[in-house]
Amino acid sequence: MPLSTTQIGQLLKEFFLSPVQEQLNRETIALDLFEKARVNWAGRIAVIPIHTGSTVALGGPSVQFSDAGAVPNATTQDFATMQVEARRLLARFQVDGMVMSAARKGNTDQVINWMEGSMDLLTEDVRDTMNQTVFSGGQVWGYATFTHGILAAGPHVGAFFGDIVKLGAEVGGGITTCNLVDVNTGAIIRTATITLPAGSVAAREATFTLAAGGLTAAESDMILAVEVTTNHVTTYADEPLGIYGNLGSSNMFSIVRAGTPVLASNGFKPGAAVPRAALTLDVIQTAIDSVLEASGEDIDTIFMNPLQRQTYTALLTANLQTVTDRAGRGDGGFTGLSYGGVDIRSSRACGRGGMVLMSIKHWKLLQLDTGGFADFDGSALSRVANTDAAEGYYRHYYNTACTRPNAQAVIAGLDIS
């Protein structure tokens, strides 16, 4: 039976929307791991209360043992409000005019075959964009570590753990400035101008020209989030806030992070005197234990780059544990990795030279509208002006937020060789 443009659009939604959504749910980090939070939206803004502490009225304990039956003082719980704005992900596709003509003659098989290939490519593009953004979306694109010592105002090379490709594009677009933010407090330590001399991208490092005041010896030991303040190429205000930004931005969804301990993350640098040092199991254990001490929460997921995974597997040769409760088979490598039962995942969107340790239950995916094909006028397709084609687009309105940054950690300054 011949199909109209509207019916072709319906065919698109009927046969391909669910498979596209299912594949993205499996292969995108935010959709796969983060809790799909139910929140109230005011326009495009979701309001999330964040517990920031408690105050005991009149002092003294709020919980106590008392044989005399004395009731303790009341505790006032303190909250701040995160205002999370939905961001708009859009991906366009076209249907060739000849395919449309074949559909109108009733050849639906040809339409389905064409759409299958086109939808596979669309899904891959959306997946890659979402996974890249779940790490480096927003203003914070990574973390810098420096050589220990007093660093005067002027240029200094720092190791960079983050989205070096995104940073390179921005630097290529013009003078790039940034705030260097202490991950452990959210305070802006210094401003700097970033350049990438020849070889910097491959070495995963950048040159930071520090503003007046430079860095003290203590500040040079910090994990410093690189919060970019120019936007020559990337309009970061249009992006969801990624993992790096949720753990390192100076301002988190309208809340100033400095002075709010629950919004401060935990940064760890393995080398005390150098920008980079070798990964050790002790560094991972220290980070996990420190998060538990600071927040009372357990780390349950670790993210690293696939090439960083090689370094970790090399450490296992001296600490190898063999599972003996099922028949064994000789194998020369690893695909599934963990540390003390904590799942280790790899993503090429995660930078080299570090890892992110997460308590996943505190990460939220806020969706104003779940992903799907736009059909405002009842059809997922519309004609392209002056072109023998019809087009449609996939859209997803969402953002990502961490409600307990102090239950997360960043290890930066790891060797990449």
Q: Is residue 46 part of a domain?
A: yes
Bridging pattern class, strands 382-383 and 389-402: antiparallel
Residue 121 CA from chain centroid, whole number: 23
Taking residues 352-370, report their average pLDDT. 94
- If you average pLDDT over each of 5-14, 110-119, 140-149, 366-375, which comes out highest? 140-149
pLDDT tens digits, 229-273: 988 886 788 999 999 999 999 999 989 999 888 889 999 998 878
CA 48-52-57 angle, 5° bins: 125
Q: Which 3-state string (H, E, C) describes 37-78?
A: CCCCEECCEEEEEEEEEEEECCCCCCCCCCCCCCCCCCEEEE
Q: Answer whether 364's CB lies under 8 Å from 35's CB.
A: yes
For residue 202, count other CB atoms closer than 10 A to its CB.
9
Q: Is residue 18 part of a domain?
A: yes
Task: Indicate the SS3 state at residue 305.
Answer: coil
Q: Answer whether 210's CB lies under 8 Å from 156's CB.
A: yes
Q: Answer whether 228's CB lies under 8 Å from 236's CB.
A: yes
Residue listed under structure tokens 């194998």: 331
Q: Is residue 277 part of a domain?
A: no
Q: Is residue 273 part of a domain?
A: no
Nearest-angstrom CA–CA distance, 71 and 61 = 10
Number of domains comprising the chain: 1
Taking residues 61-78, report their average pLDDT. 79
pTM: 0.87
Helix axes 97-104, 5-12, angle to 10 degrees: 100
Helix axes 108-136, 97-104, angle to 10 degrees: 140
Q: How far apart are the first and last CA of the chain?
A: 61
Identify the DSSP state of 213.
T
Q: Answer whether 161's CB lies under 8 Å from 204's CB.
A: yes
More confident residue, 170 or 22: 170
Taking residues 58-67, report their average pLDDT. 75
For residue 192, count other CB atoms closer than 10 A to its CB.
27
For residue 13, count other CB atoms closer than 10 A to its CB.
16
Bridge partners of residue 357, in order along the sequence? 302, 409
Bridge partners of residue 35, in order along the sequence? 364
Nearest-angstrom CA–CA distance, 254 and 325 = 51
What's at 71, amino acid-wise?
V
Q: Which 3-state string (H, E, C) describes 218-241?
A: HHHCCCEEEEECCCCCCCHHHCCC
CATH number at residue 46: 3.30.2400
Q: Is the pLDDT of residue 318 over 70?
A: no
Q: Answer whether 324's CB lies under 8 Å from 366's CB.
A: no
pLDDT at residue 410 in the model: 97
Q: Is residue 37 part of a domain?
A: yes
> Who's near 140: CB < 8 A, 6+ residues apart?
162, 181, 225, 226, 227, 228, 242, 244, 245, 247, 248, 249
Q: Answer whether 76's CB lies under 8 Å from 54's CB.
A: yes
Q: Is residue 131 part of a domain?
A: yes
pLDDT tens digits, 103-140: 566 566 666 676 777 777 888 888 999 999 999 999 99
The candidate with the shortest Cα–Cα distance to 86, out of 135, 132, 37, 127, is 37
Q: Is residue 167 part of a domain?
A: no
pLDDT tens digits, 33-51: 998 988 888 899 998 888 7
Q: Is the pLDDT of residue 55 over 90?
A: no
Helix axes 18-27, 108-136, angle to 10 degrees: 30
Cα–Cα distances (Å) from 97 to 258, 314, 337, 375, 388, in that order, read: 56, 55, 49, 20, 5
Nearest-angstrom CA–CA distance, 144 and 210 = 13
Q: Is residue 267 part of a domain?
A: no
Q: Rg of the Cα trace of the chain?
A: 25
Residue 103, domain extent: 5-54+77-136+366-401
Bridge partners of residue 398, in order along the sequence? 87, 367
Can you say whether the dihedral through the CA atoms of 139, 241, 236, 275 is positive or negative?
positive
pLDDT at residue 1 in the model: 45
Bridge partners of residue 96, in order along the sequence? 389
Please give the share of the chain, as a percent, with pLDDT higher than 70: 83
